[in-house]
């Protein structure tokens, strides 16, 4: 058994290359950047987990990074499985932070919150249902909102890819803010 974890950081989004680089999967992009920043080993699949993990050594302690391979709206099962895996492998529970897209935040904004409702985010709704609690961190990555609120327009927007400019904002503005927010996960 390894030492205790400081935290478990999970990205939720949609799986596969067709969703890579989309707004809905910005959590995956952010967790990939965290892995690179902390110089952690590449993600590895683990039997029984629907996703991949790597252990990163952060200044506050070890962080288990998890990249879910399920669809956004079915994220709870894989998150629950990695939380159980971490408790077995690392000697007990650790704070959980879910990194996900947030329509209600402008591009370049990050918000760290704990508890409360899912506020309409179906991935977070499933995580709450599967963990049986609302008491976990949410690292909301702002992707902005399209002008139209029609469901089909919103779906097209979140499943759309970031522009070059938007990606630059994520790298130069969102990512440093995300690192600051992760430092407050305890």
Active-site residue set: 24
Distances in whole angstroms, Cα of residue 64 to Cα of each of 4, 11, 90, 95, 176: 10, 11, 10, 10, 19
Q: Quick check: helix, strand or coil at residue 42?
A: coil
Distance CA 131, CA 35 (A): 24
Q: Is 38 exposed, middle or buried (0-12, 13-18, 19+ CB in 10 A)?
A: middle
């Amino acid at each position: 058994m390894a030492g205790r974890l400081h935290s478990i950081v999970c990205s939720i989004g949609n799986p596969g290359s067709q969703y890579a680089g989309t707004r809905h999967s910005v959590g995956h992009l952010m967790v990939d950047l965290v892995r690179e920043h902390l110089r952690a080993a590449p993600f590895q699949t683990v039997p029984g987990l629907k996703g991949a993990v790597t252990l990163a050594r952060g200044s506050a302690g070890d962080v288990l990074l998890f990249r879910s391979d399920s669809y956004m709206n079915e994220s709870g099962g894989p998150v629950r499985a990695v939380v159980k895996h971490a408790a077995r492998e690392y000697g007990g529970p650790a704070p959980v932070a879910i990194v996900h897209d947030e329509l209600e935040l402008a591009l370049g904004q990050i918000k760290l919150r704990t508890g409360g409702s899912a506020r309409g985010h179906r991935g977070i709704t499933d995580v709450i249902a599967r963990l049986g609690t609302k008491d976990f961190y949410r690292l909301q990555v702002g992707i902005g909102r399209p002008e139209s609120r029609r469901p089909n327009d919103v779906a097209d927007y979140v499943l759309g890819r970031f522009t070059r400019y938007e990606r630059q904002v994520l790298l130069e503005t969102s990512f440093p803010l995300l690192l600051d927010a992760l430092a407050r996960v305890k």
